[in-house]
Chains A and B, each alone.
Chain A
Amino acid sequence: EPEVTQTPSHQVTQMGQEVILRCVPISNHLYFYWYRQILGQKVEFLVSFYNNEISEKSEIFDDQFSVERPDGSNFTLKIRSTKLEDSAMYFCASSEESPAGQPQHFGDGTRLSIL
């Protein structure tokens, strides 16, 4: 069964450094998403992306965050200057068509640890 893959599984970065989290969505999917989950807390929506544009973003997704689909397969989340509070699990998801009635399929996440 097709799946969303995320790399790396664990990323350790010094505070203030830039980090790029990578995702390969399911191949025929058109909508892409990033979520995060701080340890012990709820899964939170960050951003959705379609047709090379951000469709929707949350208040968490401020100027230090950016997303990109650099080629036909990868979808990336960049955090420009990491903070301690960025430590979390980051999940990528994709869906086949527009969101109404279409499930999002999630990867197993990247654990980001900021030191």
Chain B
Amino acid sequence: DAKTTQPPSMDCAEGRAANLPCNHSTISGNEYVYWYRQIHSQGPQYIIHGLKNNETNEMASLIITEDRKSSTLILPHATLRDTAVYYCIVDEDSSYKLIFGSGTRLLVRP
């Protein structure tokens, strides 16, 4: 089973920031947090990942709490094309596999 817990659904208005939370209270010190999204039945799209520090790239920002037990993915200016299922994944013990949970279904409203 996935080591993460996410709300099943969220929505936000187009142009506003979308803040997607994730709990990973059992994360170990060397385990990374990854965020992916899946639009319709397309392949999962990598967004961002981090270990301890906050990270930012052209798609999003990742805020990881100091105790590493939770994180937040921030889409700074959501567009309609950001409507997707967002997955927060912990790479367990640097395993080769990603364990997908049910994710958060984000709906961006016009």
Contacts and interface: CB of A to CB of B under 8 A. Distances in A.
Chain B facing A: main interface SS: loop
Interface in A58-115: 58, 89, 91, 93, 98-101, 103-109, 111
B109 to A, nearest CB: 24
Given A43-B38, A45-B97, A55-B96, A104 B43 contact: no
Given A43-B38, A45-B98, A106 B44 contact: yes
Interface string B68-110: 0000000000000000000100010011111111100000000
B25 interface: no
Interface residues of B, number: 24
B49 A103 contact: yes
B91 A100 contact: yes
Interface residues of A, number: 29
Contacts of B96: 31, 33, 48, 50, 55-56, 99
